[in-house]
Structure 1
Amino acid sequence: MIRRAFELVPADRQHLIPFHLVATLIYGVAQAAAFVLLIPLLESLFDGDTGAAGVWLAVMAGVVVVAAVAGYFQSLLGLKLGVGMLRGVSHRLGDHLAALPLGWFSGRTTASITRTVVADVREIVEFFAHLLAVMVTGVVVPIGIGIGVLFIDWRLGVIMLVSLPVMAAVDKLAGRSYRSADDRLHASAAEVDAGVLEFTTAQPVLRAFGAVGERNRALESALARHRRASGGLIAASVPGLAAFAIVVQIVFVALVYAVAVWATDGDFAAATAVGLIVVASRFIDPVSALAQVSTSTRRASAAVDRVHDLLAAPELRDPAQSAVPVDNSLSFDGVSFGYQPGVRVACDVSFTVPAGTTTAIVGPSGSGKTTLLRLAARFYPADGGAVRIGGVDVADMSLEDLMAQVSPVFQDVYLFNQTIEENIRIGRPDASDEDVRRAARVAAVDEIVERLPQGWETMVGERGANLSGGERQRVSIARALLKDAPIVLLDEATSALDPHNEAVVVHGLRELTQGKTVVVVAHKLSTVAHADQIVVVDDGTVVDRGTHAELASREGRYADFVAQRDRARGWRLAVRPTSSRRGP
């Protein structure tokens, strides 16, 4: 566990590790020596030899000073390692998470990742700052005392040294069931965190359907599982701790009994016996301290393993040399992909989007339209075939170079709890105020700003909660437009807009994307009809392709799509007359 924990220490703090270990070892050895030196000091005092007693006292004082200095430095270095871990591991985890494929996140909750990044890192910091010294001294001091006692009475020294592996074996057996119980507690705590977050952010929906308080069964179930997991951890910890404490006390009683018997038999003087009893108690104290922090140590060990597991997740690796595309065309060449093994969402998809043109992708829900955009942005690696930009496989481009080529606007809009201007500026942090305002005007965000009391400085709230769905989508569009990448990916970009705002945004998009390569996923004919090319997908495959006029004039999926939209355009609510009962 200690070795794996040291592997997490950032490079700029690695040089502190040997100094910390040496200081801790010196601290432990000096403590053991100070305890053992008590025996000859007592013997000299009991014999009335004040000169020898003075010498032993001076030696003991020197050893105590060494222990104090070493203890100071080991505490100082432990804190430096802990602070370095808090900064280094957090940054390392953040960089690693940013390089993971999105598929990795789909199998985990935000709360479970947060607990690893925050709670587990905190456990590791605590390990370096406090627990490591207790663990080392809990081993070094008893061994040092046992070796020292060998020179006074070999029998008692042997008993001490033999008892150490016995106590260690009992402690190891006691901790066998702890790890699985701690994993269950970690998972249940993450589930509770996710439930509480969902409970607070989804209050309108929960209240609308009366799923608050005890009726919120999901949160209640999560809390119940957490209570059971907490009880399971206690059940797994207490018996082992009790067994270890009993064994420690048995060892201490055995040592005191042996000293008493051998002193009674005259094997050594009364002063030696008193000193050995005191030393026996000091022999047990570090072991007892180690037992008291054993739960924290096991918790830290589990945290180290979880952090290592997260860091071991394979990243989307950048190539050694990023290839340069020859133009802004986008092509799918026999692309296949599935979110789960054996389940294909895209199968042998092939089509080309020439540079500077607009291609619309249409098809029924679940047909793989959004997946194709995600593959184009390399949010997921293709299982087969290749997605190319300007003739270059996106896998042969660095993530930074690829993102410089692409501006995505997806259906699920995420806004940060910052001002409207800051959310737009994320698209290009070095953009001028005029560039931000221009992108906002094109996406009709300026109309939103005019209605808000604080204008551009209005905080949008967590996940953009202070804005409507259509307003959030317009801010997201402005963000992508500000980025001004040569390839624009739009996924239902106008789905949450009313007809007026849709017309404004569509007009602005058409104006701003002149000369750019645009791929748009949409269900609205007003968005699709003006595309240079329409690709019809169904069940993960391309079933038709052409312009709006070409596809609408022949039988096929697109013609059905147009007919369905025409029928849906005139929908209305039918009001049934209600009969009234007249009184007699």
Structure 2
Amino acid sequence: MIRTLLRVLGDRYARPVRRTIALMTVTAVLEGLSYALLVPVLHALLGPEPADAVPWLTAFAGAVAVYAVLRYLSDLSGFQAGTTLLRGVYHRLGDHLARLPIGWYGADRVGELSVLAGRGVLQAMSVIAHLLAPLISACVTPLTIVAVMTAFDWRLGLAAAAAVPVVAVIQWWSGRATAAVDAQRVARDDEAAGRVVEYLQAQPVLRAGGRTTERFRLLDDSLADIRRSSRRATRAALPGLVGLALTVQAAFTGLLTLGAHLALGGDVGVPELLTILVLAARCADPLLSLTDIAGQVRATRTELTRLDRVLRTPPLPEPDDPLTPERHDLAFDRVTFRHGDHTVLDDVTLTLPAGHRLAVVGPSGSGKSTLLQLIARFYDVDEGAVRMGGVDVRAIGSETLTAQIAVVFQDVYLFDGTIEDNIRLGRPDAPDSDVRAAATAARLDEVIARLPGGWAADVGEGGASLSGGERQRVAIARALLKDAPVVLLDEVTSALDPVNEAAVHEGVERLMAGRTVVTVAHRLRTVRHADHIVFLDDGRVVEQGRHEELLARGGRYAEFWNVSTAPVG
């Protein structure tokens, strides 16, 4: 577990943990060694001159005082390291998730990541503050006490040492028996978390269907699975708990019997025997707590393994010698992209000069949005290359590429905060005047004027307090503030009312001015003035040209145009 913990922390954060582990180990050893002083203390107290015990009692008190200081320092180090590393791990996890391919974020990841980023990271990092010290003490202190026993009497020491492999086997067997059950329980937790998210997202559908008072069967089934898996985990851990308790009691009884036999035979003195029994009793407490600690360790190790698995997921590779494009023309050179077994784009070739506008149209599922995502390098192509300024986007550093591109999606997500906070995501260091100018250009100023609190109004999680059109205006203002030379638009007006559509369209026109633009269009009337139009069907380019040229050909584009412009009814 500790190796996994250090790997999860990385080199930067692992050093303070190593120091903390070393300090806790020294503390546990000192605790065991301090009990060795009980031999001369009891020998003097039971002898003819009890006053001779004073120097030994003083030494024992000093050892206990040193142990107390070390225990305080090690516990403090654990808490400080745990709280510091918690933030560091969150940053490391967040940075890593931001570099993973978008395709990695499947539907099954919602529950897993929500549990991992919440309870998982907290539990994994709490091991440093709450679990390392008792775990090290439960393992190291009894072993040190056994060594002390052996130093006083090898027979009693060997008898105590005989219990060590039995305890180790019980812990190994118990861990192996519960591993599968723990994995099942974690999977059920992830599934239930996903179902909770699904249940919340499905509220409009459930209410529209008049099912607001009914239980959500999929969520109920997931919660029932959690209850069953928790019961199985408890039953699986019970034999280990009972076995360890019986082993500790048997070892203590054996030492008591052997010690009594040796004392009656005159082989050991009464002080030594009493000390051995005190030491044996002191061993029992940490050993009996080992089962409970081991259960927490297994749960923590499960979370650490999951966290480690995510952190070891390879991100999109960064170039060894990143290049910076000097131009902003775009080109797809025989690009093929597959998602699993499905070919999304097949041998796509097209070019777009800098400062021109490309519109991508076609039926749903034809690969239009994927084309935008490949330009932004949300994925890497399987064959061919996507180039900006003649440079393969895979040869451009991710930060450099991101700085060249502004993206406005159809579904806009806003972070919980003010409108200004969300606009500043485009350029955090922008002066206030630039932020206000971007908001005005996006027609967002009129929205801000009618909001309670104005610029300080909180938009809510996901922008819940704003309408879809208002969220689009925030996204356009964000893109305007970024002032990137390449703009990618995933039809931003397809689901807006006429008022918001007019405002957003005006903002988009300002955003596109003088920039290289690729837009995915669902409403064909928005692409008439594009410099170049590409019609995708089943991942292939079937037609391309200007609006008038494509209409004159009478092909798929003309067919779509006629359908979209035909009068309703």
TM-score range for the pair, normalised by the shorter chain length: over 0.9
- Superposed counterparts of 1:308-323, under 5 Å: 308-323=308-323
SS of structure 1 residue aligned to 2:162: helix
Could you say if the C-alpha distance between residues 19 and 363 of structure 1 is closer, same or farther in structure 2, counting changes exceeding 3 Å?
closer
SS in 1 for 2:318: coil
Give distance in 1, aligned partners of 2:13 and 2:373: 39
Cα 1:6/1:503, change in 2 over 3 Å: closer
Partner of 1:550: 549
Deviations 1:429-461 (Å, cap 9, x if unpaired)?
Answer: 233444334433443333433443333333222
Q: Which residue of structure 1 aligns with residue 344 of structure 2?
A: 345
User: Structure 1 residue 382 and structure 2 residue 381: aligned?
Assistant: yes
Give, in whole Å, the separation in 1 of the partners of 2:337 and 2:547: 28
For residue 175 of structure 1, report the CA deviation from its aligned partner.
Answer: 1.0
Q: Is 1:83 aligned to 2:83, yes or no? A: yes
Which amino acid is 1:525 matched to? L
Unaligned runs of 5+ in 2: none
| Number of the residue aligned with 2:188 | 188
Q: Is the 8 A contact 1:26 1:67 kept in 2?
A: no
CA distance in 2, matches of 1:523, 1:18: 57
Q: Higher mean Cα deviation, 422-431 or 524-533?
A: 422-431
- The gaps in structure 1 that reach 5 residues or longer are 573-584
Q: Which moved more, 1:154-163 or 1:195-204?
A: 195-204
Deviant stretches of 4+, over 6 Å: none
CA distance in structure 2 between the aligned counterparts of 1:211 and 1:189, rounded to whole angstroms: 25
Distance 2:48 2:140 in 1: 33
User: Bigger CA drift: 155-164 or 191-200?
Assistant: 191-200
Letter in 1 for 2:233: L
What SS class does the counterpart of residue 351 from structure 1 fall into?
A: strand
- Change in CA separation of 1:407 and 1:9 when aligned onto 2, cut-off 3 Å: closer
CA distance in 2, matches of 1:173, 1:472: 56
Percent identity for Structure 1 against Structure 2 = 44
Match of 1:579 in 2: none
Give the superposition deviation at 1:374.
0.4
Shift of 1:422: 2.5
TM-score relative to the length of structure 2: 0.94
- Match of 2:143? 143
Greater CA drift, 459-468 or 400-409: 459-468
Q: Which residue of 2 aligns with 1:165?
A: 165
- 550-559 or 54-63, which moves further after superposition? 54-63
1:414 has 2:413 as partner = yes
Q: Would you say the 8 A contact 1:406–1:489 is kept in 2?
A: yes
Whether contact under 8 Å (1:333, 1:386) holds in the other structure is yes
Matching residue's letter, 2:203: Q
Deviates more, 1:365-374 or 1:484-493: 484-493
Query: SS in structure 1 opposite 2:48?
Result: coil
User: Does the C-alpha gap of structure 1 residues 13 and 76 become closer, same or farther in structure 2, counting only changes over 3 Å?
Assistant: farther
Distance 2:180 2:436 in 1: 55
Quick check: 1:303 aligned with 2:313?
Answer: no
User: How far apart, CA to CA, are the structure 1 residues paired with 2:299 and 2:128?
Assistant: 13
Deviations 1:366-405 (A, max 9, x none): 0000000000111111111111111111111111111111
1: CA distance, partners of 2:299 / 2:515: 54
Cα distance, 1:507 vs structure 2: 4.0
The residue aligned with 1:102 is 102
Q: One-letter code of the match for 1:420?
A: I
Q: Give 1:199 shift.
A: 3.4
RMSD of aligned residue pairs (Cα, Å): 2.2
The aligned counterpart of 2:73 is 73
* Deviation (angstroms), 1:500: 4.4
- CA distance in 2: counterparts of 1:421 and 1:72, whole angstroms: 46
Distance 1:95 1:420 in 2: 24
1 CA distance for matches of 2:441 and 2:150?
A: 86
- Take 1:453 and 1:88, find their aligned partners in 2: how far apart are those partners? 37
Q: Distance in 1 between matches of 2:278 and 2:546?
A: 94
With over 3 angstroms needed to count, the CA separation of the structure-2 counterparts of 1:20 and 1:462, relative to structure 1, is closer
Task: Report the CA distance between 1:256 and its aligned residue.
Answer: 1.8
Name the SS for the 2:40 alignment partner: helix
SS at match of 1:509: helix
The code of the aligned residue for 1:37 comes to: L
Please state how far the C-alpha of 1:19 moved relative to its aligned partner: 4.0
Q: Please give the per-residue CA displacement for 1:535-565, whole angstroms capped at 9, x wherever unaligned.
A: 0110001011111111111131111111211
Cα deviation for residue 145 of structure 1 reads: 1.7
**Is residue 469–residue 501 contact of structure 2 (8 Å, CA) maintained in 1?**
no
Query: 1:35·1:282 contact (CA, 8 Å) conserved in 2?
Result: no
Work out whether residues 469 and 504 of structure 2, in 8 Å CA contact, stay in contact via their aligned partners in 1.
no
The code of the aligned residue for 2:44 comes to S
Indicate if the aligned counterparts of 2:473 and 2:507 stay in contact, CA closer than 8 A.
no
The alpha-carbon deviation at position 11 of structure 1 amounts to: 5.0
3-state SS of the aligned residue for 2:343?
coil
Name the structure 2 match of 1:506: 505
- What's the CA shift for 1:120? 2.3
- Are the counterparts in 2 of residues 442 and 509 from structure 1 also a CA contact under 8 Å? no
